[in-house]
Amino acid sequence: MGRDILIVGLSHHTAPVAVRERLGFSQADLQPALGRLAGLDGVHEAAIVSTCNRVEVVACVEEDAHAHGLDAKISEFLAAERKMPHAEFASHLYAHSGREGVRHLFRVASSLDSMVVGEPQILGQVKDHYEEAALAGTSGSVLHRVFHRAFAVAKRVRTETGIAGKAVSVASAAVDLAGTIFETFDDKTAMLIGAGTMSELAARHLKSQGVASVMIATRTFERAVAVAREFEGVPVPFDRVAEYLKLADVVIGSAAATEYLVTSPLVQEVLRARKQRPMFFIDLAVPRNFDPAINQLDNVYLYDIDDLAVAVAGNVDEREREAVRAEAIVEEEVGRFWRWFESLEVVPTIVAIREKVEAIRRRELEKALATLKDQAPRHRELLDSLTSSIVNKILHTPISTLKHYDDRDGTLDLITSARRLFDVEPPSSATDDDESDKEST
Amino acid sequence: MTPELLFLKAALVAYLLATGAFGLYLLLLHPISRLVGLSLLLAAFLAHGGAIVARSITAGHIAVITDYEALSFFAWLVVGVYVAVELRYRLPAVGAVVAALAFVVTLGSAVFYSGVRELPPNLRSAWLFVHVTLAFLGNAVLALAFCVSLVYLFQERQLKEKRIGERMRRLPSLETLDQLNYRALSWGFPLLTLGIITGAFWGKYSWGTFWSWEPRETFSLIVWILYAGLLQARLVAGWRGRRLATVTIIGFAVVLVSFVFGNVFFPGKHGGSFD
């Protein structure tokens, strides 16, 4: 049987954060989990990509994964690993196989599937998780190839389209703006209310501008502690934000909340406490965290995500055009990868067909020779070359078709058809891709 | 044409060109135009200085007596203070306002142009130099605060109205402008105070009275109280930003009004009638 690529998981598109954070793997859990995952029947190679916005198993599996119930097996594996009842997350899961799976992985790595499309962190996260799989020895030639192609695609999307710059520029636009209010940052304090990709990105920018300290307040204190460690910041209990607000010069909001977390009267009070020293509020949350009326107060400046998007100067048309270009790149690369992936099976299939037909020919030749009275070497040679030439002539067209077949639209799986027609099974471990890997750069 | 007038005209042309160059810098953001503006302003400052020196030589005393002389000297000092500050901060936006102000005030001074005037013997003393220099320097520093405040208000409005762009980035940060404003106030105010005190002593020496409630003195007192209140509000109530800038602008407007209004409509001792 041949092999396929299967992705089973959930992301911010399908699952709420409460599910994502419970299903997520910590780094310490990854190695043993990968071992168990690769041990599943039908799974040849496996990697786990686990970020705050997605948990996905990327695997190279037996062909016809669905028929084998592999997607169900993997989701049961997740339930067992994370000790979470299957029913609680099963409805959020998706499974992509074949070209669809490859496309999904490429889109994830290129940040086209991200919550903030174009944010650059996801590529590093995917890389890290692939390396974990390589370290665990659960990634083989196929995953090696598909992940490295994914990294190359992400690079292409970043350099050839403007989409990758968008998220960065929203965060840097915020910091740029802060620079028109504040001259220096080394005596300033930033506060993150809620921690998301973009607010962390903005905090990172501020940090690189030399901001003195970063306070982090998230709904769960553990998360604040974790993020604080990353920024060498100070975790702040969520219910005491109002008290600590007076210390903050830059306040970045990205918490999920149905009503304003910071209101105008609160800021007025805070301003009195800090002797009217200016404050810059950056609201990255939707719905918004900060009351828009804050902007009317003296010495307070409030920008929300839409204001910043304008600052980035990209109008909607431009962004859509970039997205279309990015998707086109992904599509092209999926086709390229898939041709390689199929070619893995072309050669073994051809070899198997040849071997099978050759075996038939020999068997029949021997039978014929046995019944032949006059066994002159001349006759033997004649029959041998006659049968050979018939076999070769018959096989010529199917084999050259297999060799040169270019499955661009993926509607016809010729290799599978050929294997069925001739009833052959190529050995699934025989081919290695070292040679064809070089062509990828 | 006297050398004084030649210098004065050269200075006026250079002020105008400097204003244009700084304005061009803010519009086109071309770094060259900032350097051109700065060089022109420096040239104007030197030419203007030449005019003042030439006039002082003709008069035989420091040329700050007539309306023309006073305004011209004042404009020259404002530019001097700005150039000194520009060496430390890069503030081309403020330069644009200063150059424009210098042009307008110097041009205005030329309207009052008159010949040199003899100084009555009772006023000839070292007090003249000390009083006039301190008072004018104080006003010049406050004029700089005025220019800085104008830029502050402009920048603040852009930020509030979210007119984000390259221009906003090229203007100094609000923090810098606010700090500079406060610094100018905390230098300008003591200078103004000293100017008033030395003026009182000079008055005592010349006319036998410390304070005679003539228009300029009254206006100066109003300005002094205004700035004293402003500094107090800043230190105690944390007044800063837009409020500080607005009151600074009002304060300087009073200075200008006191100068023009006082001298033209209520000519007291400062206006030229010395008796």
For residue range A140-150, what is the model confidence (pLDDT) as tens digits? 989 999 999 99
Confidence of residue A433 (pLDDT cuts 50, 70, 90): very low
Tokens for A210?
A: 């030399």
Q: Which residues pair with A47 in a beta bridge?
A: A58
CA distance A198 to A234: 19
- Considering only CB atoms, which chain A residues are within 8 Å of B242? 298-299
Q: What is the pLDDT of residue A301?
A: 94
Identify the residue whose tokens are 């067909």. A353
Lowest mean pLDDT among A261-265, A283-287, B22-26, B152-156: A283-287
- Considering only CB atoms, which chain A residues are within 8 Å of B237? 276
Q: Which distant-in-sequence residues (6+ apart) come within 8 Å of A118 by Cβ?
A: A111, A163, A164, A165, A166, A167, A168
pLDDT at residue B107 greater than cutoff 60: yes
Query: Active-site residues of A: which are they?
Result: 52
Helix axes B31-59, B3-28, angle to 10 degrees: 160
So what's the ipTM on this one? Answer: 0.83
Q: To 5 degrees, how large is the angle CA A92–CA A3–CA A156?
A: 70
Chain A and chain B share a number of CB contacts under 8 A equal to 54
Which of A299, A300, A302 is best to mutate for the B interface (most B CBs within 10 A)? A299
User: Between chains, do B160 and A278 touch, taking CB under 8 Å as contact?
Assistant: no
Confidence of residue A318 (pLDDT cuts 50, 70, 90): low
**Which among B143, B153, B164 has a CA at the least distance from the CA of B256?**
B143
Q: Which residue of B has its CA nearest to A274?
A: B238
- Say which amino acid occupies A401: T
Q: What is the pLDDT of residue B27?
A: 79
Mean pLDDT along residues B186-201: 90
With a pLDDT cut of 70, the percent of chain A lying above it is: 90
Interface of B with A (CB under 8 A): 155, 159-160, 162, 164, 168-169, 171-176, 179, 237-243
User: Between chains, do A276 and B169 touch, taking CB under 8 Å as contact?
Assistant: no
- Considering only CB atoms, which chain A residues are within 8 Å of B159? 177, 180-181, 301
Average pLDDT, chain A: 85
pLDDT at residue A211 greater than cutoff 70: yes
Taking residue A13's Cβ as centre, other Cβ atoms within 10 Å add up to 11
Give domain limits for chain B. Answer: 1-118, 123-275
User: Could you tell me if A335 and A408 are in contact, meaning their C-beta atoms sit under 8 angstroms apart?
Assistant: yes
Q: What is the pLDDT of residues A61-117, one digit of tens each?
A: 988 777 778 889 999 999 999 999 999 899 999 999 989 999 999 999 998 888 777
Q: What is the pLDDT of residue B270?
A: 61
Q: What is the pLDDT of residue B211?
A: 79
Partner residue opposite B173 with nearest CB, options A173, A182, A311: A182
Mean pLDDT along residues A226-236: 86
Partner residue opposite A181 with nearest CB, options B175, B237, B239: B175
Tokens for B70?
A: 């006073």
User: Between chains, do A276 and B240 touch, taking CB under 8 Å as contact?
Assistant: yes
Q: Which distant-in-sequence residues (6+ apart) come within 8 Å of A210 by Cβ?
A: A184, A185, A186
Residue A128 three-state SS: helix
User: Between chains, do A180 and B159 touch, taking CB under 8 Å as contact?
Assistant: yes
User: Could you tell me if B177 and B148 are in contact, meaning their C-beta atoms sit under 8 angstroms apart?
Assistant: yes
CA distance A184 to chain B (A): 9
pLDDT at residue A430 greater than cutoff 60: no
Confidence of residue B33 (pLDDT cuts 50, 70, 90): confident
**Which among A187, A195, A438, A160 has a CA at the least distance from the CA of A325?**
A160
Mean pLDDT along residues B71-80: 90
Which of B152, B153, B164 is best to mutate for the A interface (most A CBs within 10 A)? B164
User: Between chains, do B174 and A278 touch, taking CB under 8 Å as contact?
Assistant: yes
Average pLDDT, chain B: 84
User: Between chains, do B242 and A173 touch, taking CB under 8 Å as contact?
Assistant: no
Q: What is the pTM of this model?
A: 0.63
* Chain mean position to CA B224: 15
Mean pLDDT along residues A125-138: 94
Q: What is the pLDDT of residue A410?
A: 52
User: Could you tell me if A252 and A203 are in contact, meaning their C-beta atoms sit under 8 angstroms apart?
Assistant: yes
CA distance A332 to A337: 9
Partner residue opposite B175 with nearest CB, options A183, A275, A276: A183
Q: Which residues pair with A251 in a beta bridge?
A: A191, A281
Q: What is the pLDDT of residue B93?
A: 86
Q: What is the pLDDT of residue A440?
A: 36
CA distance A188 to A212: 6
Q: What is the pLDDT of residues B38-59, one digit of tens each?
A: 999 999 999 999 999 998 888 8
Q: Which residues pair with A43 in a beta bridge?
A: A61
Q: What is the pLDDT of residue A317?
A: 56
Q: Which residue of B has its CA nearest to A304?
A: B162
User: Could you tell me if B49 and B83 are in contact, meaning their C-beta atoms sit under 8 angstroms apart?
Assistant: no
Q: What is the pLDDT of residue A429?
A: 42
Q: What is the pLDDT of residue A237?
A: 93
- Say which amino acid occupies A187: D
Partner residue opposite B164 with nearest CB, options A182, A276, A310: A310
CA distance B224 to B196: 9
Q: What is the pLDDT of residue A408?
A: 52
pLDDT at residue A119 greater than cutoff 80: no
User: Could you tell me if A70 and A61 are in contact, meaning their C-beta atoms sit under 8 angstroms apart?
Assistant: yes
Q: Which residue of A has its CA nearest to B237?
A: A275
Confidence of residue B177 (pLDDT cuts 50, 70, 90): very high
CA distance B121 to chain A (A): 53
Q: Which residues pair with A252 in a beta bridge?
A: A192, A282
Taking residue A438's Cβ as centre, other Cβ atoms within 10 Å add up to 8
DSSP state of A247: G
- Considering only CB atoms, which chain A residues are within 8 Å of B164? 173, 177, 307, 310-311
DSSP string, A357-392: HHHHHHHHHHHHHHH-S---HHHHHHHHHHHHHHHH
Mean pLDDT along residues A119-144: 91
Q: How far is CA A129 from CA A93, A144, A195, B264, in A?
A: 20, 12, 22, 82
**Which among B55, B96, B61 has a CA at the least distance from the CA of B79?**
B96
CA distance A115 to chain B (A): 25
Tokens for B90?
A: 């890069």
CA distance A254 to A195: 6
Confidence of residue A391 (pLDDT cuts 50, 70, 90): very high
User: Could you tell me if A322 and A315 are in contact, meaning their C-beta atoms sit under 8 angstroms apart?
Assistant: no
DSSP state of A25: P
Q: Which distant-in-sequence residues (6+ apart) come within 8 Å of A263 by Cβ?
A: A291, A293, A294
Interface of A with B (CB under 8 A): 173, 176-177, 179-184, 272, 275-278, 295, 298-299, 301, 303, 307, 310-311
- Considering only CB atoms, which chain A residues are within 8 Å of B238? 272, 275-277
Q: Which residues pair with A302 in a beta bridge?
A: A281
User: Between chains, do B174 and A298 touch, taking CB under 8 Å as contact?
Assistant: no
Strand order in the sheet with A300-304: A234-235, A213-217, A189-193, A250-253, A279-283, A300-304
CA distance B250 to B201: 28
User: Between chains, do A295 and B160 touch, taking CB under 8 Å as contact?
Assistant: yes
Which of B148, B159, B176, B246 is best to mutate for the A interface (most A CBs within 10 A)? B159
DSSP string, A292-350: GGGGGSTTEEEEEHHHHHHHTT--HHHHHHHHHHHHHHHHHHHHHHHHHHHHHHHHHHH
* Residues shown for chain B: 275
With a pLDDT cut of 90, the percent of chain A lying above it is: 43
CA distance A179 to chain B (A): 7
Q: Which residues pair with A290 in a beta bridge?
A: A262
Q: Which residue of A has its CA nearest to B168?
A: A180
pLDDT at residue A441 greater than cutoff 60: no
Q: What is the pLDDT of residues B246-265, one digit of tens each?
A: 989 988 888 888 777 666 65
User: Between chains, do B162 and A183 touch, taking CB under 8 Å as contact?
Assistant: no
With a pLDDT cut of 70, the percent of chain B lying above it is: 91
Name which residue leads in pLDDT, A179 or B128: A179
Taking residue A36's Cβ as centre, other Cβ atoms within 10 Å add up to 13
Q: What is the pLDDT of residue A372?
A: 79
User: Between chains, do B238 and A177 touch, taking CB under 8 Å as contact?
Assistant: no
CA distance B180 to chain A (A): 12
Q: What is the pLDDT of residue A403?
A: 78
Q: What is the pLDDT of residue A407?
A: 56
Name which residue leads in pLDDT, B104 or A16: B104
Q: What is the pLDDT of residue B267?
A: 56
Q: What is the pLDDT of residues A31-66, one digit of tens each?
A: 999 999 999 988 999 999 998 789 999 999 988 777
Q: What is the pLDDT of residue A17?
A: 77
With a pLDDT cut of 90, the percent of chain B lying above it is: 31
pLDDT at residue A401 greater than cutoff 80: yes
CA distance B247 to B260: 20
Q: What is the pLDDT of residue A169?
A: 66
Q: Which residues pair with A152 in a beta bridge?
A: none
For residue A426, say if its preceding peptide bond is cis, omega within 30 degrees of 0. Answer: no
Name which residue leads in pLDDT, A414 or A60: A60
CA distance A244 to A225: 16
Helices (H), A209-274: 221-231, 241-244, 264-273
Q: Which residue of A has its CA nearest to B89?
A: A183
Q: What is the pLDDT of residue A431?
A: 41
Q: What is the pLDDT of residue A307?
A: 82
DSSP string, B103-170: HHHHHHHHHT-----PPPGGG-SHHHHHHHHHHHHHHHHHHHHHHHHHHHHHHHHHHHTT--SHHHHH
Q: Which residue of B has its CA nearest to A295?
A: B160
Which of A169, A177, A180, A306 is best to mutate for the B interface (most B CBs within 10 A)? A180
Q: What is the pLDDT of residue A45?
A: 94
Taking residue A9's Cβ as centre, other Cβ atoms within 10 Å add up to 26
pLDDT at residue B83 greater than cutoff 80: yes
